[in-house]
Structure 1
Amino acid sequence: MFYTTYGLDNITPEELRMKFDSHDDFLLLDVRTPLENAAQALDGSYLIPVQELAHRVSELPKDREIVVYCKIGNRSAFACVYLARMGYRVKNLDGGIALWNRSQTISAARA
């Protein structure tokens, strides 16, 4: 992946599920549009569309890990690079909400 050059940390849907299950302290940041967020959002996520991120970055805590997601992982990767350069601890949800949805469906089918 292109962004790996910049030290981007990815987190898989399974790893994110474990963070939820273990009640880890992190912020889940949705960088999609308000319309996409209204259609579906991950529980507890905070919405800042990627095009507003530079103007709203002060809303984000520097003392917590931030897991960033979008639809498939491209906008969130861009946001992660930006936030990492600003000194934030960030991880990109690999495959975005699309892969999250598929992984949850597969997990439910296996149960």
Structure 2
Amino acid sequence: MVQQEELDRTFAALSDATRRSILRRLGEGPATIGELAEPFGMTLTGLKKHIQVLETAGLVVSEKVGRSRTCRLGADKLDDALAWITFYQRLWERRLDGLDAYFTLQRGTER
């Protein structure tokens, strides 16, 4: 059940466009809260709330450096989500392959 709760937190964090943009930016390298807030025209408090959601999901790690807080991508938390997506992708591919084979067989018997 713990793994399901972790997936829920991950997908909830990814459900917001601002948080996805934050992750995209952090993919380029670490950034301060101020640097992350700037493109959104958002207050530091508003951005900190998004960072908290991402940290709870393990997607972002932040640390106090001097007077600012620096954020970076969390390690490997998207791997669980990717594994979940891949499982269902393969499941649907097998089902669609089976459906394709069925219709191909049906077309062959109509001739």
TM-score range, shorter chain: 0.3 to 0.5
TM-score by length of 2: 0.36
Q: Which protein is richer in helix relative to its size?
A: 2
Which structure: larger Rg?
2
TM-score by length of 1: 0.36
